[in-house]
Amino acid sequence: SQQGEEDPQALSIQEGENATMNCSYKTSINNLQWYRQNSGRGLVHLILIRSNEREKHSGRLRVTLDTSKKSSSLLITASRAADTASYFCATDTGRRALTFGSGTRLQVQP
């Protein structure tokens, strides 16, 4: 079963625009991680936010976490064609294995 659900399932934007992806989950967490995946292969870790954190930045990425709403968002600013990929949120509920959502497919048009 998948705890996280990303929204939207697919997103198409123009280069230079911002992209926002949302993730909702069901149970309490230790941390939430965002990953990127190109062409259905290896997952690249983007950012980890712990349950006692509300916002985190890394370069053009901004992640927020609202534990009261059990939701997180990933914002990619000034998107580039190279950002085209699938993005997944994954939750650590304390059992150490991550539970992934079904992902958002982002297409950035040049």
Partner 1 sequence: GAGVSQTPSNKVTEKGKYVELRCDPISGHTALYWYRQSLGQGPEFLIYFQGTGAADDSGLPNDRFFAVRPEGSVSTLKIQRTERGDSAVYLCASSELLAGGGTDTQYFGPGTRLTVL
Contact positions toward partner 1, by CB under 8 A?
A: 2, 4, 30-31, 33, 35, 40-45, 48, 88, 90, 92, 94-103
Minimal distance, residue 15 CB to partner 1, in Å: 25
Minimal distance, residue 36 CB to partner 1, in Å: 11
Asked if residues 61 and 75 have their Cβ atoms less than 8 Å apart, the reply is: yes
Asked if residues 8 and 104 have their Cβ atoms less than 8 Å apart, the reply is: yes
Nearer of residues 11 and 48 to partner 1, judged by Cβ: 48
Nearer of residues 24 and 102 to partner 1, judged by Cβ: 102
